[in-house]
Amino acid sequence: MEKILKQLYNNEIQILESSYPTDPGYLALRDQFDEKNDLLTGMLNDQGRMLLEEIISLCMQMDSSLDADKFSDGFKLGARIMLEIMEDDPSALRPPPR
């Protein structure tokens, strides 16, 4: 456990940067998005393309904010689970024998 905490502190664990979606459903949706985005971009003038890029950027920022909130909520839930386990079994607070 100490190693993981130290790695987190030293920013050695970078889950978000190292993961890449491999879910076939997600990949199919991404392909559809790219196809429709390219189609729409081709229909727009320069001003319309810039506006579309701004809208997509705003959507990505909103998604990122939601992801951060979900991560935080999940982390808090995990901490609450650990507290409940420790309340039910005080011996869980002791380090394991070496």
pLDDT 10s digits, 3-53: 776 777 787 877 665 567 889 999 999 999 999 999 999 999 999 999 999
Domain holding 47, by residue range, is 22-90
Can you give the pLDDT at residue 27? 94
Q: Judge whether 4 lies within some domain.
A: no
Q: Judge whether 96 lies within some domain.
A: no
Domain count, the chain: 1
Mention every residue, 6+ apart, whose C-beta is less than 8 A from residue 30.
21
CA dist., res. 1 & res. 15, Å (int): 17
Instruction: Please tell me the pTM assigned to this model.
Output: 0.61
* 31 torsion bin: left (phi>0), alpha (psi -120 to 50), beta (else): alpha
**Strongest mean pLDDT among 2-11, 52-61, 87-96:** 52-61
Mention every residue, 6+ apart, whose C-beta is less than 8 A from residue 49.
41
Q: Name which residue leads in pLDDT, 92 or 67.
A: 67
Q: Is the pLDDT of residue 90 over 80?
A: no
Q: Judge whether 11 lies within some domain.
A: no
